[in-house]
Amino acid sequence: MTSRSSILSTADTRRPAVAAAALREFAQGGYHGTTVASVAQEAKISAAYVFKLFPRKESLFAAALEACFDAVVQALDEGTEEIGSTDPSAILDAMGGAYAALIRDRTLLMLQVHAQSVADIPEIGEALRAGLARVTEFAKERSAGSDEEVQRFMAYGQLCHLIVTARIEESSASWAQLLSHGIRHPD
């Protein structure tokens, strides 16, 4: 094995770990509040090595977002494994339950919210749309639901994001009760 192929193998091995560290750091501090140095520290490598793996902060954030959507699709898939129904609504409900359990740890949720706030950065907007496309296409294919059912599923997910991030379920005001009615997240 040549020295160069050894370096590439090491880089290929480190990329997912660095993306996971980036996911945690960007979820906490957002795009603008997170430095490559803080991601490097979380990944226990040098900032220079992070830049070797991901040449720009935008590509690092996009990799974190891709890892986020990998986890989302995996959770949706696992949520449908035990369901004994072919009814699209039941399958989409199972996916919704799996997603609600996944975002109990707010890390993935917060990264998506931060991504939405900087989606005007071309590489990040593209990564966000690609992730949303994966989730939408997975939900459509797995559930065999109508376009309207899948749209409602995706819209419901965004409402869940709002309820969780704004802590709407903690309010007893009538508007908050209207928005959160029937929506429960695991403790």
**What average pLDDT does range 103-126 have in this prediction?**
95
Amino acid of residue 43:
A
The confidence score (pLDDT) of residue 1 equals 47
- 135: Cβ contacts below 8 Å, ≥ 6 apart: 69, 72, 73, 76, 154
Does residue 152 have a pLDDT over 50?
Answer: yes
Q: What is the pLDDT of residue 33?
A: 97
For the record, the structure tokens of 162 come out as 């709002």
Give the count of beta carbons closer than 10 Å to the beta carbon of residue 145: 20
Per-residue pLDDT, averaged over 103-114, amounts to 92
The Cα–Cα gap between 60 and 92 comes to 31
Query: Does the pLDDT of residue 8 top 70, yes or no?
Result: no
Question: Angle between the 36-43 and 3-33 helix axes, to the nearest 10 degrees?
Answer: 120
| pLDDT average, residue stretch 157-175 | 90
Single out the residue of 166, 10, 157 nearest to residue 79, CA to CA. 157
Q: pTM, whole model, 2 decimals?
A: 0.88
Give domain 57-180's CATH number out of 1.10.3720.10, 3.30.300.180, 3.40.50.2000, 1.10.357.10. 1.10.357.10
